[in-house]
Homo-oligomer: A and B are copies of this chain.
Amino acid sequence: MEEKVLIFGHKNPDTDTICSSLVKEILDKKNGESDTKAVRLGNLNKETQYVLKYLGMEAPELIKKVEEGQKVILVDHNEFGQSVEGIEKAKILSVTDHHRIANFETAEPLYYNAKPYGCTSTILFEEFKQKGLEIEKKEAVLMASAIISDTLLLKSPTTTKQDRKALEELAKIAKIEVNQYGMEMLKAGTNLEDFTAKELVNLDAKSLEKDEIKFVIAQVNTVSIQEVLKRQEELETAMNEEIVKKGLHIFVLAITDILDSNTEIMVLGEKSEIVEKAFSVNLENNCAFLEGVVSRKKQLLPNIDKTIGNEELA
């Protein structure tokens, strides 16, 4: 078993998950706890690669599973389905997160700091403040990048005044011009060319379950929805493979235009009609356009979740 306490975010790591893991390790060290270590559960996406390259930092070590009794700290997730293999038997010391709580349990009391903000790093930013710890340039860039990523440059409806305040203050310490740095970072993440279809549908995919209906909502950011739709056939093949492999009832691929803040959804699975009901749309050629929708957490998931709940009552 790893002696250090392992800090990690969710599978299919995004920029908030990686940056918040690294920041949590820095925060713990500054707070006198030096036995924690950030790790990751999957490959870095190109947006996150851009951030680490900007800072000249190495990616955290990749882990595949944890042993029974391993001490862990979760950031940016809590649902076991999104966590590391073996999480059920690990000892979870703390969670810092901005998602709903579900499919999560512990045998013992723990630290749990959740706030309904746009980004986990905004919660960590407030922890630095509360504990009176200095924020230096490296962690400022990490937290600013996470906020820019999760809020799509403060344009997502998940954005809160706390995220705006944190980003403003962090940008000064990080010495970055938010819009310029942010757009370069986001665009780096939309370069999807050298991903296979299988990689694309798994890049940022969340596995969810409600009332025994298993579904995945995957999301890719782009500057051209049409470019992504050119690959519809191979994307659908990859989605169907996931449906069979994981016994899913629904697979939603959200293709989000980060410039215009709209999303095209591609939906497969035997319960696809739940998604049609959730957004009052008809799928045509398995697709539908959702104007003004950009957030999985605040827009896609709650609507689908609520519709499943109502189906059960019917």
Which A residues are within 8 Å of any B CB, using their own CB?
98-117, 130, 297, 302, 305-306, 309
Contact = CB atoms under 8 A, between A and B. Distances in A.
B112 A106 contact: no
Contacts of A105: 100-104
Specify the main secondary structure of chain A where it touches its partner: loop
Contact of A114 (B103, B111, B306): B111
A116 B111 contact: yes
A107 B305 contact: yes
Nearest to A103: B105
A101 B302 CA distance: 22
A239 B202 CA distance: 52
Contacts of A108: 100, 116, 302
A109 B100 contact: yes
Contacts of A112: 101, 112-114
Contacts of A107: 100, 302, 305-306, 309
A98 B102 contact: no
Contacts of A101: 101, 104-106, 110, 112
Contacts of A130: 130
Nearest to A105: B102
Contacts of A113: 112-114
B109 A102 contact: no
A214 to B, nearest CB: 16
Contact of A100 (B106, B114, B297): B106
Nearest to A100: B106
B114 A109 contact: yes
A222 B36 CA distance: 43
Nearest to A131: B130
A110 B104 contact: no
B109 A99 contact: yes
Nearest to A113: B113
A117 B115 CA distance: 20
A99 B112 CA distance: 10
Contacts of A309: 107
A101 B130 CA distance: 24
5 contacts: A101-B105, A101-B112, A102-B106, A104-B104, A109-B115
A19 to B, nearest CB: 19
B102 A111 contact: no
Contact of A116 (B110, B116, B305): B110
